[in-house]
Chains A and B, each alone.
Chain A
Amino acid sequence: STVVLVFQAPISLSQEKGDSSSEFKFSVQRGDRVRVGEALGRWYDQ
């Protein structure tokens, strides 16, 4: 079975470049084993 999570999370727009540098950062890699309760990603104050 498979679970797909879709969610909004904070991003910050870097004005000079005009593209969005995500403030939310995933803390996993593809192929990683994860368990319930472990952080998938965090966001930081700019």
Chain B
Amino acid sequence: SSLLKKLHKTTQARAFANGGGGGSKGDSFLLPGATVATLLMLGVLHGRRMYEDRKAEEARENGAELEFQPDVKSKFLRLLPLRSISRCWGLLTSVEIPVSLRPHVYGAWARAFHSNLEEAALPLDEYASLREFFVRTLKEGSRPIDPNPRCLVSPVDGTVLRFGELREAGAMIEQVKGFSYSVFSLLGANSFLPMIAKGDMHEESSESENTSREKNKKSWLRVSLASPKVWDPVSECPMNGLFYCVIYLNPGDYHRIHAPADWNVLVRRHFSGRLFPVNERATRTIRNLYVENERVVLEGLWKEGFMALAAIGATNIGSIELSIEPELQTNQARKKLLPSGPPEEQLYEPDGIGRMLKKGDEVAAFNMG
């Protein structure tokens, strides 16, 4: 405030020195109170945000597990038209950048978000817009696929947030300590998962093994009915557990999604949801974040049984483009303001062949807007 008083005095003195110019010229230099108050408030909020983030960082370094803690900001986010903001961001990043500026713009992006420009498949000045650069492919051989037939590979570049085995009947995944969400809600009510999760794969005695095997058979019967030509994985494989892995992609990461194994995709579900940010702070403060956000779920079979992948969008990355279904459009303007209804489902090849993918094949890509 002393700084502002000094600024105020100097502007007045300067106005006076220039022949006074009467009250009007002096007044026009006056910073109205509201602007000063707004600047001060933004400064205080920013300072508080930095303090809180530093506190969270220290807690994490001390190994403390951050807990679920809804705050005012997460409630405020619910009031914003995040989908429209996301589409505006997409329009902005689609603007063509002059060729001479491209290396500088993408270089600045790479420095800000730690992208590796060496891996980009094309020279930087061949990406016409930031949106085109964002969904860049990589040079051949940049991502060797682990050839071990008994391993599952990462479908994306990113940071492992959570992983584990789904043992409880409710098949819940922890979003952050103190809050979990249901896998059924994430994948959709029509998911083939219920039969498997209810199949209680872990029952001990042999007779229950047969009954659960029967149950499994029934569930896969439903799948095989949907896709008669798909092999029945249950009879060929030992008891199976249900596992999950959650991977977060930073804005600077390579944003294409690949098949984690040889995988036959049978069905796609598109949930036209909200577009909250999905950064670390959002996972700590927004309830059911992954279940509310716009997402595309691919479900199918691999040699060990069921496999599903949920690609979840965010405010800045609202689009999910499928290599196996290029016509799918996500983050479209919704006619009604009400939250989204049931997901839009597409059974691949109604006679049940599905879309066969080899381990490492490209499946989809995230994009801005």
Contact = CB atoms under 8 A, between A and B. Distances in A.
Contacts of B360: 36-37
Interface string A1-43: 1111111111111010011101110111111111111111111
Contacts of A38: 146, 153-154
A36 B186 contact: no
A7 to B, nearest CB: 4
Given A8-B241, A35-B254, 20 more contacts: A1-B249, A1-B314, A1-B317, A2-B248, A2-B290, A4-B247, A4-B310, A5-B244, A7-B302, A8-B304, A9-B241, A11-B238, A22-B165, A22-B243, A24-B243, A26-B164, A34-B158, A35-B154, A40-B152, A43-B150
B155 A8 contact: no
B130 interface: no
Given A20-B239, A28-B160, A44-B150, A2 B249 contact: yes
Report the interface size class on chain A. Answer: 35 or more
A42 B152 CA distance: 6
23 contacts: A1-B366, A4-B244, A5-B244, A6-B242, A6-B306, A8-B233, A8-B242, A9-B240, A11-B241, A12-B239, A13-B209, A13-B239, A26-B163, A26-B164, A34-B158, A36-B145, A36-B153, A37-B153, A37-B258, A40-B245, A40-B260, A41-B163, A42-B152
Contact of A1 (B166, B240, B241, B313): B313
B163 A9 contact: no
Nearest to A30: B160
B151 A7 contact: no
A44 B313 CA distance: 35
Interface in B142-173: 143-146, 148, 150-167, 173
B26 interface: no
Nearest to A34: B154
A39 B359 CA distance: 11
Contacts of A3: 155-156, 158, 246-247, 249, 257, 309-312
B290 A41 contact: no
A6 B154 contact: no
- Interface centre among A1, A28, A35, A38, by most B CB within 10 Å? A1
Contacts of A15: 204
Contacts of B48: none
B317 A33 contact: no
Nearest to B254: A36
B194 to A, nearest CB: 12
B225 to A, nearest CB: 19
Contact of A4 (B173, B233, B239): B173
A45 to B, nearest CB: 9
Given A1-B366, A31-B160, A37 B240 contact: no
Nearest to B246: A4
